[in-house]
Every structure is written in structure tokens, then in C-alpha cells.
Amino acid sequence: MPTDEFNRKWYWDFRKNAWYCLRCNNCKWIDNWEVKDARFARICPSNAYYLFDTYAAQGRMDVSLDLIDGVLKYEDDPEILDILYACNTCGGCDVMCKGVHDMSPINVILEMRAKMVEDGQLLPQYLPILESLRREDNTMLGKKADRGKWAEGLGIKNLAEESAEVAFFTGCRFSFDEELWKIPRAIAGIFKDAGVDFGIMGKDENCCGSRPAQMGFKGEFTKYAENNIDAWKNAGVKTVVTACSDGYYAMKRLYPEVGSKVEVLHMVEFLARLIEQGKIKLTKKVPMKVTYHDPCHLGRRLSQAISVFNPNERSMGIYEPPRDIIKAIPGVEMVEMFRNRECAWCCGAGGGVIDTYPDFNSYTATQRIIEAQETGAEAIVTACPWCERSLGDAIKETGAKIKVIDLVELVDSARQRGGK
């Protein structure tokens, strides 16, 4: 991914970051002025679940420093792998740490994972995912040939053969999670009605590389980023739109390092643009009380990459646009959870945890469902297929009386069609 010079600088930076840790505990809790209820004061899911300091950023800094300096060796304790891999890479620690200290624990954790992959220290649970990436270019253990199946019968342009102004990047989860196909299908309908010139890569779409990067597979990330950038160039694409927050983070924040020049928008931003242009009219009443779950990679993770990847670009998480869209829908009542925006609790899926630590994943998602139910909302609206899968599964497991929906579904129910 980055240049050698970049790597050398970053290697020094991340050791220095780990060394700088004050052991202050800030990375375990949301800012105290943001605490509205003691039950919802934590920010680090892995610390809350495993209840050991080593499973918070603070302990991970100690373990990382000792591994970098050779004081600790992988063979000293098999749990070292869990300490660094059982982390959602949600970035909650990073936001809270930055409140007291100029360092980036999340980047240390991510770099340590890359180092562990380089050192051959893989979780056995990673092997089928790695195999799926190498053979089928996706993280979902699906067949490459089936990647565009969700779009069958919709008559969408195939960007491997035709040009279009906008590429809709579906991503691994939406492509292979059949229960979620209704969302990209709704997006296709919205695009068509709004007159957007768009296409998809279908079976020729690759993984975006975001999940592999979170798991430490930098080589896979670079390969996929380069393939996708080339494919968009060949199809004359000017704007890439995705409804996956993980993918958006990678394409927006990491791809410029690999030479990407196209405009990248999350579906939330594209919806806001279409609404502003009058191409979507939210006229139908949707009587529903909802709360909004901020996906980590559409929120706080976006702002954390500034200093490393795009030093000159100011960026903040996308917090207000989804809320503005929800509030513009007639009949919808929007209520906030105790932890929102930068302080949002992760859905539990991130960092590969959905595939590697199912119990921890389920605990984290269930905590979010409990918090959402406290608001009295009938539905959790969000904007990421990983959150939808993780929260949706927790709802099924617990029998909670709440549902999870994508912002696209809400907009689709409220938009005017054919003058009505």
C-alpha cells in the first residue's frame, strides 16, 4: 500500500505511539460530560467483554511495545493473538485517547496486525477467509461468479463492458448476503428514477480491501485497491457510490494513497445530493419512531486518518447528513441513543470479529440493541451492511422487539414515485 518511505516513517511512528501511552484509562470510557447513564458509559467493546486491561487499547499498547522491542515473543503466550485480534477496530479508543493525548492507538493495533500477518501469526479462523479472497476475491466464502446475482433482472449497465458516470460499488456483504439484497435493489430503483447514469462491475467486482486491511492483510488490500481503481478508469467512471461504510472508508481514505482520483461518496451523501437537487422528493408519510446507529467507519474512523493518509484534508465523520434525511421524512420521529456520533457503541462486526469471535460479536451487538430499546424506537436505522447483519442477528437471538433497517429503505418508503 504505502511507499517504503511512508512505511519507515510509519514504523517509527507506531512504535513511538505505543511508547507514548500514558496508561490513563481514557480509552475505556466515553468522555465523562457525554455520559448520560452509567450503564452506557463504556466505549471499548473488547474491554467490556473480556474485562481485562490487555483487551483495551491501553493494554494493547503495552503488548505491542513489548512485541516490537522483542521483550515479548509470540510463543510466550498463545493469547497474544487474541489480545490483538479480538478488537473491533472501531476506533472508540482513538477518539477518547486523542482527548488527552496526541497519539493513535487504533493505528498501532492495525499496524501490529499487519506485522503479525507478516510474521505468519494468523488466527486459524482467518484461513477460510484468506482462501476465499485468494480464489474468489471476496471475504464471504462466496463464488465470484455469483457476485452480481443480486442485480439479476434489473437491467443495470455492466461496467466491465459499458461506460457510466457513476459506479455503484456493492461490496462483499451486500453481494453475498441474500437477506440484504433488498437494499442494493432499492438503490438501483432510486438511481433509475432519479436519472442517474450508473453501472456495476457485477461478477468482476473485487473486494474493496477494507476488511483484509483491518485483519492485517496489506498485500490483499493493495491488490484490490489497484484492481478497482483500474476498472473504474477503464469504465470512465467519475463518481463511485457505495452503501457499505467499511468500503467507503477504504475508498475515501486509503485509496488516494494508491493513486485513486475519482470522487467517492457514501450512499448517505449521494441521497442528500439527490434530495437537494430535487431528484428525490420525500413526500410519503412513514409513521415510525426510529433511532440512528452511527457505523464506526462512517463516523469517527473517517476523521482519524487525516494525519496519516491525507494530511492536508480536513475531515469529520458523517454524522448529520443521515440524521437530516431521517428528520426530513414526514411522520418519522427521530430519537438519539445515549451514545451517539463520536461516542457511538460499535455494532460488533468490525475488524473481522464477526467471523472470528462470534460470542464477542454477539455480546457487543446485544449491548447496542439494549441501548436502542431504551429510546422506545421501533427501528434502528443505519447505513452499513455489516452493522445490519450484526445487529439483525442479535435481534433474532434475543427476540428483541425492534428492527434494523438501512437508511435507503426508509428513503425508499418515503419517496414520491411517478408523481405520487
State which of residues 14, 46, 68, 245 lies at the interface with ligand SF4 (CB under 6 A): 46
Work out how close the CB of 352 gets to ligand SF4 at its nearest, in angstroms, rounded to a whole number. Answer: 12
DSSP track, 249-279? HIIIIIGGGGT--SEEEEHHHHHHHHHHTTS
Binders of ligand SF4 among 86-125, rule CB under 6 A? 87-93, 96-97, 100-101, 105-106
Q: Is 25 in the site for ligand SF4 (CB under 6 A)?
A: yes
Nearest to ligand SF4 of 19, 181 (CB atom): 19
Nearest to ligand SF4 of 141, 306 (CB atom): 306
Look at residue 125 and give its three-state secondary structure: coil
Q: Is 58 in the site for ligand SF4 (CB under 6 A)?
A: yes
Rounded Cα gap, residues 202 and 310, in angstroms:
30
Sign of CA dihedral 232, 150, 186, 296: negative
DSSP state of 331: T
Q: Is 329 in the site for ligand SF4 (CB under 6 A)?
A: no
Residues 6+ apart with CB under 8 A from 141: 128, 129, 132
State which of residues 1, 14, 26, 264 lies at the interface with ligand SF4 (CB under 6 A): 26
Residue closest to 390 by CA, chosen among 365, 416, 420: 365
Q: Is 22 in the site for ligand SF4 (CB under 6 A)?
A: yes
Nearest to ligand SF4 of 18, 172 (CB atom): 18
Q: Is 45 in the site for ligand SF4 (CB under 6 A)?
A: yes
Residue closest to 171 by CA, chosen among 345, 295, 280: 295
Look at residue 190 and give its three-state secondary structure: helix
Structure-block grid coordinates of residue 215: 485483519
Work out how close the CB of 400 gets to ligand SF4 at its nearest, in angstroms, rounded to a whole number. Answer: 23
Work out how close the CB of 99 gets to ligand SF4 at its nearest, in angstroms, rounded to a whole number. Answer: 8
Rounded Cα gap, residues 308 and 59, in angstroms:
23
Q: Is 44 in the site for ligand SF4 (CB under 6 A)?
A: yes
Nearest to ligand SF4 of 110, 272 (CB atom): 110
Rounded Cα gap, residues 272 and 267, in angstroms:
8
Q: Is 43 in the site for ligand SF4 (CB under 6 A)?
A: yes
Q: How many CB atoms lie within 10 A of CB 394?
A: 24
Nearest to ligand SF4 of 39, 134 (CB atom): 39
Interacting residue ranges for ligand SF4, rule: CB under 6 A: 21-27, 43-47, 56-58, 60-61, 87-93, 96-97, 100-101, 105-106
